[in-house]
Structure 1
Amino acid sequence: MTRTDDAGHKAGDVATSQASHAKSSLPLLTIGAIGVVYGDIGTSPIYAFRQAMHVRPGAAASHIEILGLLSLIVWALTLTVAVKYVFFVTRADNNGEGGTLSLMALARKTFAKPPAWITGLGVLGAALFFGDAIITPAISVLSAVEGIDLVAPGMGRWVVPITLVIIIGLFAVQRFGTAKVATVFGPVTAVWFLTLGVSGLVHIIEYPAVLQALNPFLGIQFLATHIGIAFVVMGAVFLAVTGAEALYVDLGHFGRKPIVIAWFGLVFPCLLLNYFGQGAFVLQVGVENVQSPFFEMQPDWALLPFVGLATLATIIASQAVITGTYSLAQQAIAMNMLPRMIVQHTSATQSGQIYMPQINAMLMIGVLLLVLIFQSSEALSNAYGIAVSGVMIVTLSLLVVVMWRNWKWHPAAVIGFGAVYLIIDGGFFAANAAKLFQGGWVPAVVALAVALLMWSWMAGRKRLSDKTRRDEVPLEFLVNNLAKKRPTVVPGTAIFLTSDVEGAPTALLHSLKHYKVLHEQNVILTVRTSTSPRVPDDEKVTIDAYNELFSRVVVTFGFMESPNIPKALALARKLGWKFDIMSTSFFLSRRSLKVGQKGGLLRFWQDRLFIRLARNASDATEYFHIPTGRVVEIGTQVVI
């Protein structure tokens, strides 16, 4: 799955599945990684250094202050992205997949009984990603479109309307899939990075003294001499590394090697050249004469095409976030962390290409509201960072568990690694938390709302499962009784879906009660989700026969797979089961949930929220791809 994850976080529609890695060449995978994995971090130079400059004290900045800011950006990129993510996080793959939820599943595997806090971290990471997902398209597109005011002074009043039109168009085309657009993502982004590098190199050549910023002590000195604004500065510096989480989220689509080659071969050098170039330009013309160094350092003849290329790059970055959100939502649904939603596959060959209309609509509304409320990328930058830095802390926490229990690192090494990056990631989070009331509340509120929904859904499902289990008849008891005293047997196959492997399905009990017949073949079908992203076909289906009338079939899907029951049951033919979809009826229970009288205030609103979510969940028939003409639904009422 995509930006899975985690998720994710960003490439479901533009990348190939892990199964196709062997068929794809390394150069093609590397170009694809440039377009998808690094689309977000590649737009950071538009606004990151500008924001760092604008939080300086006083009306002017000294030579040493500019070098100090540059040093902080350079070493943030190096330590957070190059070292933490490229060297360590990308090694924590779950059967080749990455992302927050994938890492959570990997950490859970190491426990016989996983502690609740592991799941809690996964929920928190997923919720924070949703908070990030509504900000990235808004700030990215806004920052690029703002360049038109430099091309044609007086056009500033059109920045917001143009941004709104681009965003509406971007979300409107999602339903068609991105297979065709994806083919240009890599080349366009590669051109973008080369342009970043060349435009920065020109100014470095003119002012090579800017390379002094490679000295990390200049950054430390800046923070030590500017204690009063250190948090604000670090919040601005953090903008340079936003998008780093995509390295891990997209691991399963490209593999580690192409991601590493793309980073060190093109992305990292070009980002450094551009940041140094911006610094050289500012030091040459004077900080008081610069408002937006990224655009102003371009020659006049190149400004218009540069704005156009920047707009394309930000659209690509936004596309990656949108598709990553689909992937993350799909994973959360598979893990029973969110209610079922409509998942439309937009490609017959690439399983990661999906479209979720409900998620798309919610994202679009959120992004449009942010653009209308904040009006500029500078104002919106205050809202950016809390969610991403929070995801990084969650990733670090789960990674430490994997290092300790899965990789069997020495405890001292685990503690040392965790302590170093807790200081770095914790510092970034604290710096962004300082902007809570200047806009940081936006992703915090979104993340809190999503976490609340996920928590309520999981808690409600557990209560419903416990209630159903108490009321159900043990399956073996029922099967044995029916074998001794058979009701009328009719031709065909009946498949009864149930999530409880021990109890008799409610639909079976009500069918016997009302119809008083059994089919020739009765299958108790349970769908499970594995902690692995994908399950091989030869391990997907298991069949156990109780007697000549009853069988149990367990179908296991990976958490990144789309659960297609008819296709899975077709695999059962290899196990000797003669399955014919046209002579099979699927019996499903449709529960009508009612609120009970027990519980306090928390239980009161949580149960009502769960019931509302359950009512709005997509139909099980559609979710499991069961032919509607073969489904019999039996209604039951359950008080929770």
Structure 2
Amino acid sequence: MATHEKQSLAIVTLTAIGVVYGDIGTSPLYTLRECLAGEWGVGINQTSVYGFLSLIFWLLTSVVSIKYLLFVLRADDAGEGGILTLMSLAGRNIDARYMPLVIVMGLIGGSFFYGDGVITPAISVMSAIEGMEIIAPNLTRYVVPLSVIILTLLFVIQKHGTGSIGKLFAPVMMLWFITLAVLGIRGIMEYPQVLHALNPYWAINFFVQYKLVSFFALGAAVLSVTGAEALYADMGHFNRSSIRIAWFSIVLPSLVLNYFGQGALLLQHPEAIKNPFFLLAPEWALIPLLVLAAFATVIASQAVISGVFSLTRHAVRLGYLPPMRIIYTSDKESGQIYIPAINWMLYLAVLIVIASFKSSSNLAAAYGIVVTGTMALTSVLFCLVTVHNWQWNRWAVALLLALLLVIDLPLFGANLIKIMAGGWLPICIGIGFLVVMTTWRTERFNVLRKLSEHGNSLSAMITSLEKNPPVRVPGTAVYLSRVVNVIPTALLHNMKHNKVLHERVVLLTIRTEEVPYVPNVRRVEIEQLSPSFWRVVASYGWREKPNMEGIFHRCSVEGLNCPMMQTSFFMSHEALILGKRPWHHKIRGMLFLALARNALRSPDLFELPPNRVIELGTQMDI
């Protein structure tokens, strides 16, 4: 039994290397080059090379090893992670006065991830393809077209799911990290003195020597830890042990060896700064390394794209984005999903970014702001969870938060200088998604509030209909109600216009709880309101897909038998009209109308038989 568990842990750990560490694992392609490329005017000398290597090592140690691996990974919700999960956890036991602030922080962090989702595929793939310039400088003009072709293929295959391709992720990324380590050792053996940079003295000395310039140079060093948030976001697919073992046994040593190998190369051959990663390899290995790097960056891009899909589904289920078509590409793994609308929006944004920036060095200027912003928000939300959910000592948590922000805030501040050089791009993308999420949530709440303001009491109406029933017709009618204890609009309109009632009426509310999964024993709550009226509340977690057949199967188990083909589903469809508003509210209203028109309709959302659905429309001013 113990041997089987060890084998399982080994397999999960190997898989985690392929999925979780793709983004951070491809950072050596461009990080040290951007640190020392001359933008900061520090040049290539012992102080600058040792200083940046020391910064990179201690950033990997403090941000990834300590903050995320030892602390943040503890904050899970039924095994799930990510900034929106952290938002949900932080809001459960907090004072209601501070809840809006928690939501805003979570939504900002989630919105920033969309910006990261556009930049990461572009910079990763381009940095790998740029290796062609070492093999043949006249191939430079093909970098952009080849990057576009590779990313086009990546986005096209998304609809087929990543299950079969995902099997290749682990061995390819394992080979990638082994290659990083071997190349690094090769460079270190040529100049072993470079290992002195492990001493934090060199990081401190770097700040002393270069003063203000060193602060802004942090904006380049932070490229080494981009992808750290993926450790937390991908926790639902793996477990803490596998993620930690993979990092400390394989990923961290490989990254450190490669960075130090590049540093050793630069101290001996400063001209290698044009691409120290590829020049670290012997000439005969350049083409295989280029191919391996291309595969590794595609895997890194896939991990980010999958993360964007998961974040979108989470936001949809929590009501921060409109319902949209979500395709489950695996019968076994609920995390493997495909969202066509997001996929092609992301693809279009990536193409625009590649065409605009044209090189990974230019894209590096756009990288880092949203990542460091999300890191700082994660620190705050995590500390809220430790105080309000785990009852940690407040003074100890205050000290922990101070230590975390001492790292996060300077990293964020150092990246602010990049705004005009390209950092505005991911910020604008993040702000755009934040506006969409807050607009949908707020306007939809107002619509639901207006729909429930008809002034009629549900219990009074049921009593009246039982006492003086209208014409009854055979069968079961299911009325979908967004809010419990409120008369469904479709029922009001059916009584008003058709003046008939089915023999049995079920008022169904589908509720999304702020947990990933809801146990089947709590899936449905059934309450008989009168001889012919029933209330059913079906609860789902944000990671689950509501299933109408599953709901009524569970109902039949608990005594309420409703055969699907003998049941009519009544739904209301609101035709929304924008009323008079101030100009800024009008723009918000127009955005909401556009989102509502393109939102997935309830019959499609719940996959109801088309011949069993009756939609009753109503017009509403908003």
Q: For this structure pair, what is the TM-score category when the shorter chain's length is used for normalisation?
A: over 0.9
Are 1:268 and 2:222 an aligned pair? no
Structure 1 window deviating more from structure 2 (194-203 vs 557-566): it is 557-566
Q: Match of 2:615, SS?
A: strand
- What code does the residue aligned with 1:515 have? N
Q: Does the CA-based 8 Å contact 2:37-2:273 persist in structure 1?
A: no
Match of 1:589 among 572, 586, 591: 572
Query: 8 Å contact 1:109–1:531 — kept in the other structure?
Result: no
> Alignment partner for residue 425 of structure 1, among 408, 420, 423?
408
Question: Do structure 1's residue 248 and structure 2's residue 236 form an aligned pair?
Answer: no
The answer as to 2:403 corresponding to 1:443 is: no
Q: Distance in 1 between matches of 2:79 and 2:288?
A: 39
Offset, 1:590: 0.5
| Correspondent of 1:637 among 613, 619, 622 | 619
Is 2:167 aligned against 1:190? no
Alignment partners' CA distance in 1, 2:450 and 2:322: 19
Distance in 2, matches of 1:369 and 1:53, equals: 28
Does residue 1:606 correspond to 2:588, yes or no? Answer: yes
Partner of 2:538: 555
What amino acid does structure 2 have at the position aligned with 1:43?
T
Residue 370 of structure 2 is matched in structure 1 by 387
TM-superposed CA distance for 1:566, in Å, is 2.0
Structure 2 match to 1:154? 138
Q: How does 1:350-389 map to 2 (within 5 A)?
A: 350-389=333-372
What residue in structure 2 maps to residue 10 of structure 1?
Answer: none
SS at match of 1:434: helix
Question: Match of 2:209, as an amino acid?
Answer: T
Higher RCO (CA 8 Å, separation ≥ 6 residues): 1
Q: CA deviation at 1:474?
A: 2.0
Deviation at 1:260, TM superposition (A): 0.6
Q: Does 1:305 align with 2:324?
A: no
| 1:626 aligned residue | 608
Alpha-carbon distance in structure 1 between the residues aligned to 2:338 and 2:445: 29
Aligned-partner Cα distance in 2 for 1:357–1:595: 29
Q: Could you say which residue in structure 1 is the equivalent of 2:36?
A: 53
Change (3 A) 1:92 1:58: closer
Question: Which residues of 2 match residues 12-23 of structure 1 at below 5 A?
Answer: none
Task: Go from structure 1 to structure 2 and tell me whether the alpha carbon gap of 1:472 and 1:191 turns closer, same or farther (over 3 Å shift).
Answer: farther
Question: Partner letter of residue 384 of structure 1?
Answer: Y
CA offset digits 1:456-501 (Å, max 9, x no partner): 1111012112211212522111111111111111111111011111
Corresponding residue of 1:207? 191
Q: What is the count of residue pairs matched by the alignment?
A: 618
Partner of 1:9: none
Q: 1:626 corresponds to which letter in structure 2? A: L
Deviation at 1:219, TM superposition (A): 0.6
2:82 equivalent among 91, 96, 99? 99
Work out the CA distance in 2 between the residues paired with 1:174 and 1:183. Answer: 15
Using the TM superposition, name which of 524-533 and 570-579 deviates more: 570-579
**C-alpha separation in 2, matches of 1:207 and 1:372:** 39
Partner of residue 501, structure 1:
484
| Residue 42 of structure 1, aligned match among 22, 25, 28 | 25
* Secondary structure of residue in 1 paired with 2:572: strand
Give 3-state SS (helix, strand or coil) of 1:528's partner. Answer: strand
In the alignment, is residue 180 of structure 1 matched against residue 143 of structure 2? no
**Would the alpha carbon gap of residues 290 and 595 (structure 1) be closer, same or farther in structure 2, given more than 3 Å must change?**
closer
Matched letter for residue 612 of structure 1 = A
Provide the residue aligned with 1:12 in structure 2: none
Task: Tell me the CA shift for residue 48 of structure 1.
Answer: 0.5
- The alpha carbon displacement at 1:625 in A equals 2.1
TM-score (norm 2): 0.97
Between the aligned partners of 2:142 and 2:341, the Cα distance in structure 1 is: 30
Letter in 2 for 1:76: L
SS at match of 1:481: helix
In the alignment, the residues of structure 1 paired with residue 483 and residue 458 of structure 2 have an alpha-carbon distance, to the nearest angstrom, of 10
1:533 correspondence with 2:504: no
CA distance in 1, matches of 2:150, 2:373: 29
Query: Which of 195, 199, 217 is the matching residue for 1:233?
Result: 217
1:472–1:504 Cα contact (<8 Å) kept = no
Hey, what does 1:127 align to over in structure 2? 111
Classify the secondary structure of the residue corresponding to 2:371.
Answer: helix
Root-mean-square deviation (Å): 1.5
Matches of 2:70 and 2:589 in 1, distance apart?
A: 44
Asked if 1:116 is matched to 2:97, the reply is no
Per the alignment, residue 4 of structure 1 pairs with: none
Shift of the alpha carbon at 1:56?
Answer: 6.0
Aligned-partner SS, 1:490: strand
The whole-number CA distance in structure 1 between the counterparts of 2:85 and 2:40 is 43
For 1:215, the aligned partner's letter is N
Deviation at 1:229, TM superposition (A): 1.7
Does the Cα contact within 8 Å between 2:516 and 2:541 map onto a contact in 1? yes
